[in-house]
Amino acid sequence: MIVAMQEQATEEQIDAVVVAMEEAGVNVHRTTGQFQTILAGVGPTAGLDLTTFEMLPGVLHVHRISAPYKLAGRAFRPEGTVIEFPNGASMGGQQIAIIAGPCAIENRDQIFTIARCVRGAGGGFLRGGAYKPRSSPYSFQGLGIPGLELMREAASANGLAVVSEVMEISQIEIMLPYVDCFQVGARNMQNFNLLRALGEVKKPVLLKRGIAATVEELLLSSEYVLSGGNYDVILCERGIRTYETSTRNTMDIAAIPVLKKLSHLPVVADPSHGTGRRDMVPAMAKAALAAGADALLMEIHPNADKAVSDAAQTLYLDQFEKLVTELRVIAQAVGRTL
């Protein structure tokens, strides 16, 4: 950490800051300039609340100079993490993973039709919601366990792995027999108790970036899972909230290469939530792939306009099949396979 003192700071103020830093277990090196004094603190500052120092008399700014996460950092596993799934699919390696399915599981026909389509297009993962977080209490809230059963059956019949959203700790036990990967939604990215509980589970976690979360906060949230002993975390860029309204969210495509640089964890992009508009999904899926994403997550439905939720951003099955064919060419162009 660095503490930059104000130009007018007195020696007493500087001393008091040095003492406070040392009490926090930090070694302090002082640089006295003509106008300004700078205190460089070296030591274990990851768990430290730096704002504590910002308000001390005479302090101008406090800067953190090391990343506040450790296990999620690229240095922890420079070669990158590759996560293997029971059906033989993987994320984080040479192969681009395709994760597709409906926003919500609705019935047997729907989910089997979709599973066959995903399989046919060469995808390895079936996604679908059994528990739905909805902003309005008057909207459809999901099928629950019967939905999970249907999805598991449809996925296994087609050699697919299952990805589904967990909304609270009590659902982990219930979902465990049915899913291969727990998805944590954007609204729960900082539900730290849930993250901690998932740290003790032996299945991968797909962690979505919160709608106003920074890249650093996403990595800190992944650290909750990693520090519990579960090293199989997939980071998901799904759009952030900005002033622009021509798309539902603003997809932060640059977060993909930034995350790949800062962390060893696989990165998945979700152009469906990222744009909220079916007609923009293909362009953004291609962009994410070109920018270095390891996987793509897309909402698809045989009757997209009648989907019980997220209809506007859901691809029809033929649109999805065509898109995967186009993505395959781009994957080759960036040295990947699909």
User: Is the CB of 64 or the CB of 108 nearer to a second copy?
Assistant: 64
* 184, two tokens: 């944590």
Q: How far is the CB of 206 from a second copy (least distance, A)?
A: 19
For the bound state, the minimum distance from the C-beta of residue 336 to a second copy, rounded and expressed in Å, comes to 12
10's enclosing H/E stretch is none
Q: Which residue lies nearer to a second copy by CB, 160 or 304?
A: 304
Nearer to a second copy, 217 or 321 (CB): 217
The nearest distance, CB 99 to a second copy, in angstroms, is: 19
Query: Distance (Å, rounded) from C-alpha 46 to C-alpha 67?
Result: 7
The residue among 116 and 277 lying less far from a second copy, judged by its C-beta, is 277
Phi-psi region of 131 (alpha: psi -120 to 50; beta: other; left: phi over 0): beta
For 58, other C-beta atoms within 10 Å of its C-beta total: 19
Q: Smallest distance, Å, CB 115 to a second copy?
A: 23
Q: Which is nearer to a second copy, 105 or 155 (CB)?
A: 105
For 190, counting Cβ atoms within 10 Å of its Cβ (0-12 exposed, 13-18 middle, 19+ buried), the class is: middle
Residue 321 beta carbon to a second copy: minimum distance, rounded to whole angstroms: 18
Q: What does R_g of the chain's alpha carbons equal in angstroms?
A: 23
CA 73 – CA 250 distance, rounded (Å): 25
Q: Which residues pair with 207 in a beta bridge?
A: 184, 235
Phi, psi of 223 (to 5 degrees): -60, -30
In the bound state with a second copy, the residue whose beta carbon lies nearer, of 52 and 337, is: 52
Name the minimum Å distance from CB 161 to a second copy: 26
Assess contact for 39 and 14: CB atoms under 8 A: yes
Among candidates 333, 337, 326, 319, which has minimal Cα distance to 290? 333
Least distance from C-beta 248 to a second copy, angstroms?
8
Written as one letter, the residue type at 265 is L
Angstrom distance (rounded) from CA 118 to CA 46 = 43
Closer by beta carbon to a second copy, 72 or else 114:
72
Q: Which is nearer to a second copy, 155 or 251 (CB)?
A: 251
223: helix, strand or coil: helix
Q: How far is CA 2 from the centre of its chain?
A: 30
User: To the nearest whole angstrom, how small is the minimum distance from the Cβ of residue 80 to a second copy?
Assistant: 16
Nearer to a second copy, 5 or 89 (CB): 5
Cβ 159 to a second copy shortest distance, Å = 28
Q: Of how many residues is the chain composed? A: 338
226 vs 98, 202, 267, 291, CA distance in Å?
24, 11, 15, 25
Name the strands in the sheet holding 59-63, side by side, starting at the edge strand that comes first in the sequence.
27-32, 37-42, 2-5, 59-63
The residue whose two tokens read 């274990």 is 44
